[in-house]
């Protein structure tokens, strides 16, 4: 029997990039997967993401592979909408076993988001997209998992949440991702007595279509230069991260909770 047969998973931000890889991997393990995203065709924004698609959406890709998937367009910053999305999943499939609270990301340029001169609107947006969205998603599944007395929650931080950039840029994103890591530790304490594990992954530089397209070639921040800072001398792939999500979503991690796991190839921030 497949590891996640009869299990139900929700992956936020799953229309492209890392979330899409998590959704497809969990479906490959037998889970029914709810693909939740602001825009189920967000892959259209980046050529490399669009080229990688084998069907018109992550949902269609999973279904073409014989899996069960449900697409929901939802903004994780809206807690009522998130609760409605989770209620719909429960109505459809009766339970929620895995949540990957992956939706998020940064906005603005590093040069415009230095710690000492943060624009209030950008601070608000990025905190809501990342920290609030994560908390809302976790809070929406918690009562269901408590009733089941089982569940696996995976949150998403970043290397930016562990170490600052050298120039203090992208501080709003780093602070929100650090808060997610610490929130995860609190949530693990709260939900542990119900048999629910809660862990966080902290990816380094992962070669998604977005990351590859938003590089400034030749700059200190370029991805080529960034790879030089990685012990393994390569950027990460979405599958590198999906493998760790598989570990955290299956019984392999049954006695792991409150952990923040870097997936960065041994990156040192430069």
Ligand X SMILES: NC(=O)c1ccc[n+]([C@@H]2O[C@H](COP(=O)([O-])OP(=O)(O)OC[C@H]3O[C@@H](n4cnc5c(N)ncnc54)[C@H](O)[C@@H]3O)[C@@H](O)[C@H]2O)c1
Smallest distance from ligand X to CB 56, Å: 14
136 annotated active-site = no
Cβ atoms of 170 and 113 within 8 Å: the answer is: yes
Say how far apart CA 181 and CA 163 lie, in whole Å: 12
Q: 43, 136, 170, 173: which one is catalytic?
A: 173
Smallest distance from ligand X to CB 22, Å: 9
For residue 54, what are the CA distances in angstroms to 58, 61, 84, 103?
A: 9, 6, 29, 22
* 3-state secondary structure at position 151: strand
**Contacts with ligand X, residue ranges (CB under 6 A):** 12-13, 15-19, 37-39, 42, 75-77, 102-105, 129, 133, 156, 158, 203, 205-206, 208, 210-211
Smallest distance from ligand X to CB 41, Å: 9
With CB atoms as reference, the residue minimizing the distance to ligand X is 17
Say how far apart CA 101 and CA 10 lie, in whole Å: 8
Q: Which is nearer to ligand X, 2 or 231 (CB)?
A: 231
Q: Which is nearer to ligand X, 44 or 251 (CB)?
A: 44
The angle formed by the CA atoms of residues 19, 24 and 25, to the nearest 5 degrees, is 100
Q: Which is nearer to ligand X, 5 or 44 (CB)?
A: 44
Q: Which is nearer to ligand X, 13 or 151 (CB)?
A: 13
- What amino acid positions are annotated as catalytic residues? 173
């Amino acid at each position: 029997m497949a590891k996640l047969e009869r299990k139900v998973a929700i992956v936020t931000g799953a229309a492209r990039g890392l979330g899409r890889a998590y959704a497809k991997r969990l479906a490959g393990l037998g889970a029914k997967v709810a693909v939740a995203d602001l825009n189920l065709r967000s892959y259209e924004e980046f050529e490399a993401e669009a080229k990688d698609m084998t069907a018109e959406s992550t949902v269609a890709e999973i279904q073409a592979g014989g899996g069960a998937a449900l697409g929901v367009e939802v903004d994780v910053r809206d807690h009522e909408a998130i609760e409605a999305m989770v209620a719909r999943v429960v109505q459809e499939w009766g339970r929620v076993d895995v949540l990957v609270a992956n939706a998020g990301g940064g906005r603005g340029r590093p040069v415009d988001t230095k710690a000492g001169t943060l624009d209030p609107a950008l601070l608000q947006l990025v905190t809501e997209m990342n920290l609030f969205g994560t908390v809302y998603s976790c809070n929406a599944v918690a009562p269901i998992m408590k009733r089941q007395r089982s569940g696996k929650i995976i949150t998403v931080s970043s290397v930016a949440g562990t170490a600052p950039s050298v120039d203090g840029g992208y501080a709003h994103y780093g602070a929100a991702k650090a808060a997610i890591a610490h929130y995860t530790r609190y949530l693990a304490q709260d939900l542990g007595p119900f048999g629910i594990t809660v862990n966080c992954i902290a990816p380094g530089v992962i070669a998604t279509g977005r990351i590859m397209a938003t590089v400034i070639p030749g700059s200190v921040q370029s991805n080529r230069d960034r790879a030089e800072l990685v012990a393994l001398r390569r950027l990460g792939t979405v599958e590198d991260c999906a493998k760790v999500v598989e570990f955290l979503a299956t019984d392999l991690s049954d006695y792991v909770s409150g952990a923040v796991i870097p997936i960065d190839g041994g990156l040192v921030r430069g």
